[in-house]
Copies of this chain bind each other. A is one copy, B any other.
Amino acid sequence: MSVLTSADQADSADSADSAATVDLGPAAALACRECGERFPLGPIFACASCFGPLEVAYDLPGGDPEELRRRIESGPNNIWRYAPLLPVPADVAEHPNLNPGCTPLVRADRLAAELGVTGGLYVKDDSGNPTHSFKDRVVANALEAARAFGFTTLSCSSTGNLAGAVGAAAARAGLRSCVFIPHDLEQGKVVMAAVYGGELVAIEGTYDDVNRFCSELIGDPIGEGWGFVNVNLRPYYAEGSKTLAYEICEQLGWELPDQLVIPIASGSQLTKIDKGLKELIQLGLVADRPYKIFGAQAEGCSPVSRAFKDGHDVVRPVKPNTIAKSLAIGNPADGPYVLDIARRTGGAVEDVTDEEVVTAIKLLARTEGIFAETAGGVTLGVTRKLLAAGVLDPAATTVVLNTGDGLKTLDAVAGTTGPSATIRPNLDSFREAGLA
Residues of A in contact with B (beta carbons under 8 Å apart): 77, 96, 98-99, 102, 104, 107, 109-110, 125, 128, 130-132, 164, 167-172, 174, 178, 181, 183, 187-188, 190-192, 194-197, 199-205, 209-210, 212-213, 216-217, 220, 222, 361-362, 365-371, 405-408, 410, 413-414, 417-427, 430-431, 433, 435-436
Q: How far is the CB of A308 from chain B (nearest CB, A)?
A: 31
Q: How far is the CB of A434 from chain B (nearest CB, A)?
A: 10
Contacts of A410 in B (CB 8 A): 187-188, 191
Complex Cα distance A259/B132, Å? 29
Residues of A contacting B: mostly? mixed
Check B172 against A368 for contact (C-beta < 8 Å).
yes
Check A209 against B178 for contact (C-beta < 8 Å).
no
Set B130, B191, B222: member contacting A369, Cβ < 8 A: B130
Counted per complex, copies of this chain come to 2
Complex Cα distance A435/B201, Å? 9
Check B424 against A192 for contact (C-beta < 8 Å).
no
Q: Which residue of B lies closest to A363 (CB)?
A: B197
Check A371 against B195 for contact (C-beta < 8 Å).
yes
**Given A192-B407, A407-B188, A203 and B369 contact (CB-CB distance below 8 Å):** no
Other A-B contacts than A128-B128, A164-B371, 10 sampled, CB-CB below 8 A, are A132-B407, A169-B369, A178-B435, A195-B417, A197-B362, A197-B365, A199-B421, A200-B419, A201-B423, A222-B430
Check A171 against B99 for contact (C-beta < 8 Å).
no
Complex Cα distance A178/B370, Å? 18
Check B222 against A425 for contact (C-beta < 8 Å).
no
